[in-house]
Structure 1
Amino acid sequence: MQWLSERSLMAVPTVAGSDNQGTVAELVIFLIVLLLVATGVALLSRRLRIPYITGLVLAGLAITELLPGRIRLDSSLIFNLFLPILLFESAINTDISRLRSTFKPIALLAGVGFPLCAAITSVLLKLELGLDWVPALLVGVILSITDTALVIAVFKEVSVPHRLVTLVEGESLVNDDVALVLFSLILTANSTGSLTPLDVVQEFLFVIVGGVLVGLALGYLSIGLFSQADDPLSVILLTIAVALGAFQLGEFFHVSGVVAVVVAGLIVGNLGVSRSTSASTQVTLFSFWEFAGFGVNTFIFLLIGLEINLVTLWQTLPAVLLALIAYQVGRALTVYPLLDLVRFFDKPIPVKWRHVLFLGNIKGSLSTALALSLPANLPGRDKLVVIVLGIVLLSLVGQGVSLPGFIRRLKLDRHSESRQQIEELQAQLMTSKAAQDELESLLKSGVLPKSIYEEMRAAYQVRVAASERALREIYNQRPEDAAAESSDLLKLDAIRRQLLLAEKQVLNDALRRRILSEEVVQERIKTINEQLLSLEDD
């Protein structure tokens, strides 16, 4: 994406209206103010029961005029620092096996649904606001992006099925990249004056495949380093280098830095850290990245609030509302019909889930960054930026505040007291076994003498035995009533799904190595797919 690589990498928030513009002291003062404001928002949002991110944007609006200078949000700051951190944090926490189980609906939403939504939104924007085609297409792409930061925060507050969480996260991971590629292609066509469909396909494939290759190379190269540097601080530094380096390498080779970061993060999280580092190192690492993601979201949404001018927004409010209607119509005309088609080739997506995906199409950091990066010579650029920022505000406040209550009314969480008991016992069993594994590692490394090791291991073994006995008693029960609930509780479909996916992986490996014939493998995979479709959504 040439347009992105040409932007300045020296991106920091700039302070206007001061004699000592951009000094370090002023920047530190502003950061301190933002940290204090964020702390206050965190406390108030819990009491007022509003999403933290929504509170940040509102706080940014409130303190804009109180600051001595004006902080400007630089789009290159988002692209080169904030976005890689957010993508990597999401990727390392994503289970590849669960992502594979929702790959088809994710591919349908991001690969077909996103361009379709952008096209519908662009047409409506041209009709409603009288925009030229290029501005309409650019804004259509910007408004079709979904930001999951607030939605995932709501999911932590209101429990929903794990497959729905994976669907939301997976769609966002993929459509971010599709959005950047489409945005770049539109700008290229506008600057060159011509771009054939073949050029579009070639550029799209080159950018995507190139990003995958860069991510794979950097991810697998880092795996060996994790085993050599098994201390928390070194591993954290390495993952930071991988996250930021993957994006910069992708941009250097003019391929997708977003795809490179996501692929590298998936490899690091599923193959590197989990297999090559100790449990204590993993806890420290994932805690760091949780804090990094939280901190980045804090600053970026505060800065979004500071960027919005309420007077200008009020003057363009009719255009903002028309644009909001346009992208909501585009989203509705893609989410509902496309996900209805999923039942023909994968496990059906419940209608209630489609409601969440529709209402959860909240705008955020990437939409803001793309709006701020619109070319200066684009007709009506300033008005377009105001429209996008206005929609970001309305989306974060309106949809953000209503989403928790909306999900509660849908009653997506089916956890009963029995299910809660099972999960508590599973948690005790998993933690006890993990502790035993760590004790084994400490014994082999010479940290623990054998006598202490045996004493501590025996204590954990008592917990393991108690958990296993209690779980066995629950599984052996056969209640006569509530058969559907019993089936949902006792089948442990999440574990069965993971085992079936492992079976498919083995069969595909055997086919690739010419151990089994294609006929046998395809027949067996067909049976496994039928079993996967019969599982309950967890």
Structure 2
Amino acid sequence: MGRQPGEFGIGMMSAISWIGGSSVIEWSIAQQTSLDSNSAVDTQTAATIPEVVIILIILLLIATIVALVTQSLRIPYVTGLVLAGLPITELWSRRIGLDPVLVLNLFLPILIFEAAINTDIRRLRSTFKPIALLAGPGSIFSSAVIATLLKFGLGLDWISACLVGVILANTDTVSMIAVFKEIRVPSRLTTIVEGETLFNDAAALVSFNLLLVVYATGSLTAVQGIREVLLVAIGGAMVGAVLGYLCLPIFVRLQDPLSSLLLTVALALGTFQIGQSLGVSGAVSVVVAGLIFGNLGLSRSSSASERIALLSFWNYASFGVNTFIFLLIGIEINIETLWKIAPAILFVILAYQLGRILSVYLLLAGLRWFDRPIPLVWQHVLFLGNIKGSLSMALALSIPLTVTYRSDIIALVFGAVLFSLVGQGLSLPWMVKRLKIARISDTLQQAKQLQMQLIASKAAQEELSSLLRSGVLPKAIYEELWASYQVRVVQSEHVLRDLYNQRQSTRREPEHSELDAIRRRLLLAEKGAVANALRKQILPEDLVQTYIKELDEKLLTLEDD
């Protein structure tokens, strides 16, 4: 006897069907009201603006209190926001919540662009293989595992099960990065986590839209699916590249930091909208545009203050967006309702954790055949940081009303996100500390302080040169100030050279691994130079391939940074 729509294999049909009937999962205030005339719109807008402002003020005050409490209790800020938002649903007389249109068209581009402009392409390139493995095949494999378990465990149809799989295979690492800011971890691991998130969001949106195409058309061959994915992804990358490069000459000519800020906002939001309107991935477009602007545009800025202003603005924008998102996640979730379907939610949690375990440990085990292997303890962190967030909820809410199990999917996703943010979010800092990923010795601590002093002094000297060229400083004052910084540079370089020589004469220890980052950059520079000479036919291929093989062997001997 076949299952009816909404009937779960573990007997949760009545509870979840009640969710859809009682409209517990509602849209935001803006979506609850429909008006019939322009005059009515004006009247309603005038009446609700003060109310919206009051709501924003209250949410900001709540966020401030949460920040104070989480700092004293030493728990993740985003987890505190979710917990603070849970009781608001019962206290507020008017329903507010996540608007998926707002999240996907405003919040998501801001978060992606901020992450992209702060991502170093050189470091991204050095960790591209594990990132591509996790964000590509890893995401697909995890989605397939989740979908299969939900299909046979909860009785969902394949489309609904695959939608949940894609939604929960996406990893939101805001909490994970917040932990990394408090606990020092190897920079390569941080780059892998940030890079996976950057491309995972785009991959989730592409896969989600592809499933909706399958649902709408009724069928899609493998060739058509691959062609559609490549068209959307490559097309999005091309749109982002074109818009990113077009903004560079405009940015260089702008002398006003405020105008530069407006340009970056237009680039982030405009790239997403243009990509979507052209039928390609807006998320991929924003990723590429952000990478180009962050790595090629900011370096062309003539003023250090302008670069600081831009980065600070996007840091504040990202922080503000995350604050509202995680508060609204807490407000959107109804604990009483989710408690009634706890067994089904628990099954979903086990499914997405199993999918993550298999995708991380199995796929990264084969990485050693074509790239530096990922240490097992790092793989533990990648699994433990499998936290879900706003994108998962936004995708669930944006599922078409005609999908049979829509209310079921929303309830299950919300329950999984709540467990992820609270359960894993609270335990992640403790677990990362227990794993003892980064052991900091006194020598390495001294080296990092000297590097910081060296970097700061060199930057100050560059700024002094810029002021001299622009006529702001007379040459006598320039030489005096430049000399004072040069003393610090020479002292730092001298001590660093001694530490490096000492490092070469002693046994290699894990805590000294960050000193190998300098050698790695030099070896990569050599590799890029000879490869470029080969492309220009300056050097013969046999000599170049032998030399590159030697460089690769040296790179593999270096400690992970």
Q: What's the TM-score, normalizing by structure 2?
A: 0.90
> Residues of 1 paired with 2:254 and 2:431: CA distance?
46
How far apart are the structure 2 equivalents of 1:519 and 1:85?
47
Map Cα deviations across residues 151-204 of structure 1 (whole Å, 9 max, x no partner): 000110111100001111111112222211111111111111121111101101
Contact 1:97 1:501 in 2 (8 A): no
Q: CA RMSD in A?
A: 2.0
CA distances 1:216-251 after superposition (whole Å, capped 9, x unpaired)? 111111111221113321221111111111111110
Aligned residue number for residue 305 of structure 2: 280
Q: 2:30 aligns with which of 14, 19, 24?
A: 14
The equivalent residue for 2:141 is: 116
Shift of 1:323: 0.4
Residues 264-294 of structure 1 deviation map (CA, whole Å, 9 limit, x = unaligned):
1111111111133422211111111111111
Instruction: Give the stretch that moved more between structures: 308-317 or 14-23.
Output: 14-23
- Could you tell me how far 1:12 is from its partner in structure 2? 7.5
When structure 1 is superposed on structure 2, of 274-283 and 510-519 the one drifting more is 510-519
Structure 1: gaps spanning 5 or more residues: 1-10
Cα shift at 1:488: 5.7
Out of 446, 463, 481, the residue aligned to residue 438 of structure 1 is 463
Displacement of 1:505 in angstroms is: 2.6
Aligned residue runs from structure 1 range 270-349, under 5 A: 270-349=295-374
What letter is aligned with 1:14? A
* 1:106-505 aligned within 5 A: 106-477=131-502, 483-485=507-509, 489=512, 492-505=515-528
The letter of the residue matching 1:501 is L
SS at structure 1 position matched to 2:213:
helix
Aligned equivalents of 2:369, 2:132: Cα separation in 1: 15
| Distance in 2 between residues matched to 1:151 and 1:384, nearest whole Å | 25
Whole-Å Cα distance in 1 between the matches of residues 163 and 444 of structure 2? Answer: 47
Q: Are 1:122 and 1:137, in contact at CA under 8 Å, matched by a contact in 2?
A: yes
Structure 1 window deviating more from structure 2 (169-178 vs 87-96): it is: 169-178
How far apart in 1 are the matches of 2:544 and 2:286?
Answer: 33
Q: Give the alignment's TM-score, normalised by structure 1.
A: 0.94
| Residues in 2 aligned to 1:490 and 1:94: alpha-carbon distance in whole angstroms | 21
Whole-angstrom CA distance in 2 between matches of 1:42 and 1:29: 20
User: Structure 1 residues 531, 449: CA separation in 2 closer, same or farther (over 3 Å shift)?
Assistant: same
| 3-state secondary structure, aligned to 2:75 | coil
Which amino acid in structure 1 is aligned with residue 553 of structure 2?
E
Distance 1:490 1:78, change over 3 A: closer
Give the direction of change, closer, same or farther, for the CA distance of 1:253–1:516 in structure 2 (3 Å limit). Answer: farther
Indicate if the aligned counterparts of 1:113 and 1:338 stay in contact, CA closer than 8 A: yes
Q: 2: distance between equivalents of 1:334 and 1:359?
A: 13
User: 2: distance between equivalents of 1:88 and 1:359?
Assistant: 25
Confirm whether residue 514 of structure 1 aligns to residue 530 of structure 2: no
Deviation, 1:506, is 2.4
For the residues of structure 1 that align with 2:469 and 2:553, how far apart are their CA atoms? 45
Question: Aligned residue pairs: how many?
Answer: 526
- Matched letter for residue 271 of structure 1: L
Aligned to 1:533: 556
Which letter does structure 2 place at the counterpart of 1:414?
R
What displacement does 1:478 show?
Answer: 6.4
Q: 1:479 to 1:87 in 2, by over 3 A?
A: closer
Contact 2:500 2:515 in 1 (8 A): no
The code of the aligned residue for 1:122 comes to: A
Moved over 4 A (4+): 15-22
User: Of residues 126, 131, 135 in structure 2, which corresponds to 1:101?
Assistant: 126
Q: Which amino acid aligns with 1:197?
A: A
The Cα shift of 1:67 comes to 2.2
